[in-house]
Amino acid sequence: MEALIVIDVQNDFCPGGALAVPEGDAVVAPINALMRDFGAIILTQDWHPAEHSSFASQHAGRAPMETVEMPYGQQVLWPDHCIQGSPGAAFHPELETTRADLIIRKGFRRGIDSYSAFFENDHETPTGLEGYLRTRGIDRLTMVGLALDFCVNFSAVDAARLGFDVTVREGLCRGIDVDGSVRAARDGMTQAGVLLT
Ligand code: VGL
Ligand code: ZN
């Protein structure tokens, strides 16, 4: 069985949002249309406490887009975004959410970020999504959403490593693109066995 996984189509990742992805809102209508082709639909939602450690505001003298060393490895520092319960954390108002079987929230632990829908950024703390998919008999995943080079990338690579058959529909994704991150993400996904279409 196959599922559509819609990654982080939230106000803060759309134009006007705190961490706007260029043309982020352009994916909303075609993702809604694509939902008709899937029997299982899962949405992810970036969901941070106000003092999340991925926010540059929590690191004296550091600015957004700089990188710091965290106990679990390198971490890009972001503007404050997707704060739990805030309008920025809400899904884009036109995203069709009624057909979602599951909404999985991530990044809710203050001390660790979670780009992937499967594991937090230590690459070992599970979100529970793997168990959900396996117990439903889902073995094929199509991924779309924001941002191509971060949350879509990490989710797709983790899924492929876990043995899922993964397709990323690039036209239904948009990237942040810091320091060539879109290109690196494409290479990494391809190497992990993700099909990019
Ligand atoms: C994301 C940066 C920080 C994403 C989330 O959804 O790609 N990127 N938090
Ligand atoms: Zn985030």
Closest CA to 34 of 6, 8, 1: 6
Closest CA to 43 of 112, 94, 91: 91
Measured distance CA(78)–CA(65) in Å, rounded: 6
Express each pLDDT in 93-142 by its tens digit: 999 999 999 999 999 999 999 999 999 999 999 999 999 999 999 999 99
This model of the complex carries an ipTM of 0.98
Domains of the chain: 2-49+78-196 (3.40.50.850)
- Tell me the CB-side half-sphere exposure of residue 30, using CA atoms within 13 A: 14
For residue 46, the ligand 1 atom closest to its alpha carbon is 5
Instruction: Considering every ligand atom shown, identify the ligand nearest to the alpha carbon of residue 107 and give its number.
Output: 2
pTM: 0.97
3-state secondary structure at position 89: helix
Measured distance CA(183)–CA(164) in Å, rounded: 23
Express each pLDDT in 42-62 by its tens digit: 999 999 999 999 999 999 999
- List C-alpha distances in Å: 55 to 62, 71, 113, 151: 9, 15, 10, 16
Q: Name the residue of 150, 157, 174, 189 to mutate for ligand 1: max ligand atoms within 8 A of Cβ.
A: 150
